[in-house]
Amino acid sequence: MVKPGKFYEEPIDPYLPSAGNRGYRVSRYELDLTYKVSSNRLAGKASITAATTEIRPRFAFDLSQSLAVSKVTVNGSRSVKYTHQHGKLTVTPAHKIPAGGALSVTVQYAGTPKPVRGPWGEVGWEELTEGAIVASQPNGAASWFPCDDHPSSKASYEISITTDSPYYALANGVLVRKQTRASQTTWVYEQSEPMASYLATIQIGPYERRRVTPARHLVTAEAPLEVPMHAVLPQRLRTAFEHDFGRQPEMMDTFVRLFGPYPFADYTVVVTDDELEIPIEAQGMSVFGANHCDGRRGSERLVAHELAHQWFGNSLTLGAWRDIWLHEGFACYAEWLWSENSGGPSAKEIAAQAHRTQAGLPFDLLLGDPGPRLMFDDRVYKRGALTLHALREILGDAAFFDLLRQWTAKYRHATVTTEEFTDLAAHFTDRPLRPLWDAWLWSKPLPA
């Protein structure tokens, strides 16, 4: 029961009821950050440009309690009341802003950043042995900047990070400026394509950056001749990386052919000096641990998975976490497609094996709405991939890959839903697809 006078709102997403906010739409974040590696100390100024969607007395942003706010302005005015409680920075402007009005908020803050704890472990800003990593899926962005931390809220970013000069600092987008003063270096990145907050990242470590031999693509009106690809990693891992990630240009070529033009300016793989349990995607980059460079290409399946997320997850981003199969099912199926196109087992063979495995697991998951507890369950990945393979069997290869290319083109840099995908798929066959979707997305038993 809500107490009288209590400010209450329905959650934007029941999977993460405390994440995301109402009353505005962010168009741009400008983050000016300074990070001290030795003490894990972060100081920041966030400038948020938004437009209001309704008249309201106050606006909230997601921000971890590990960071203390020292100053807030709204539309240039310091006549602002603000509170910072329970992971919400709530600001009350001196005057109400009309619907459709400009909302320009600056926040100065500092503290010792820590990951956000949740049902899926710890996510967000995390210390490495020497440096830092940011892996925010699904709700860790608030661990390092004030934001509207929901995937349907996509904006452009400028990220400036100042840190100790021996370290390499990387953020999303294109490096537009780098300046060294005394013992510190400032790196400024521009991410012009819209990005969800959980995909924003900072990576800091004893790294070097090198160019990866670019993949040559078919020349089309939409795609450039090549996608610039880079590696940022410790020098000691360079030889193993060149072997383990050596087929990445060919992989890029394959995915451009199957999925359509690569959606960003370039692609960077970061390999940390530490081991990581799993690799993670960010917009325009993927992050792997030193353990994924084993000299035997033991993680090539994951290399394909993370690259595929640039299309499915980063360019086309779910609007609600119930639709997570649109990210993970597609990226998992991309692993199978890479195998099929690189001399390994066919997607059909891998699907048959995956189906046998799934048949031995509990049937308590609804792929189209798995619930927050199971949203990252491996069955979402494998059943999602099996759903796509079942669709491919019905459509045939030509129509299936035409569908994927139209899907990525129509919703490039946008927010997507399961319904939009199923509606689009209906245009590629005369056969009714409702039985397929009912069986695979909306029933718990594993279809034949």
Which residues carry a binding-site annotation? 305, 309, 328
User: Among residues 306, 333, 335, 420, which one is catalytic?
Assistant: 306
Cβ neighbours for 1, distance < 8 A, ≥ 6 positions apart: none
Peptide bond into 138 cis (omega under 30): yes
Q: Rounded CA gap, 124 and 115, in Å? A: 5
**Amino acid type, 376:** F
Q: Which residue has the tokens 């693509």?
A: 217
- Spatial contact of 227 and 265, defined as CB atoms under 8 Å apart: no
Kindly give the pairing relationship between strand 184-196 and strand 174-181.
Answer: antiparallel
Task: Give the Cα-Cα-Cα angle 437, 441, 443 (nearest 5 degrees).
Answer: 100
C-alpha distances (whole Å) from 185 to each of 41, 168, 178, 273 are 16, 9, 7, 21
- Spatial contact of 160 and 201, defined as CB atoms under 8 Å apart: no
SS3 content of the chain, % helix, strand, coil (to 5): 30, 35, 40
Task: Give the Cα-Cα-Cα angle 229, 233, 234 (nearest 5 degrees).
Answer: 155
Q: Is 393 tagged catalytic?
A: no
C-alpha distances (whole Å) from 51 to each of 33, 102, 394, 414 are 24, 5, 44, 18
**CA atoms within 13 A of residue 229's CA, in its CB half-sphere:** 22
- Spatial contact of 20 and 150, defined as CB atoms under 8 Å apart: yes
Q: Is 189 tagged catalytic?
A: no
Structure tokens at 166: 């021996």
User: Among residues 24, 35, 109, 381, which one is catalytic?
Assistant: 381
Task: Give the Cα-Cα-Cα angle 301, 302, 306 (nearest 5 degrees).
Answer: 125
Q: Rounded CA gap, 393 and 352, in Å? A: 13
Q: Rounded CA gap, 192 and 163, in Å? A: 23
Which amino acids are annotated as binding site for Zn(2+), given as ranges?
305, 309, 328
- Spatial contact of 12 and 22, defined as CB atoms under 8 Å apart: yes
Helix (H, G, I), strand (E, B) or coil at 331: helix
Q: What is the CB neighbour count within 10 angstroms for residue 108?
A: 15
Beta bridge partners of 104: 49
Structure tokens at 146: 């004030």
Active-site annotation, residues: 306, 381
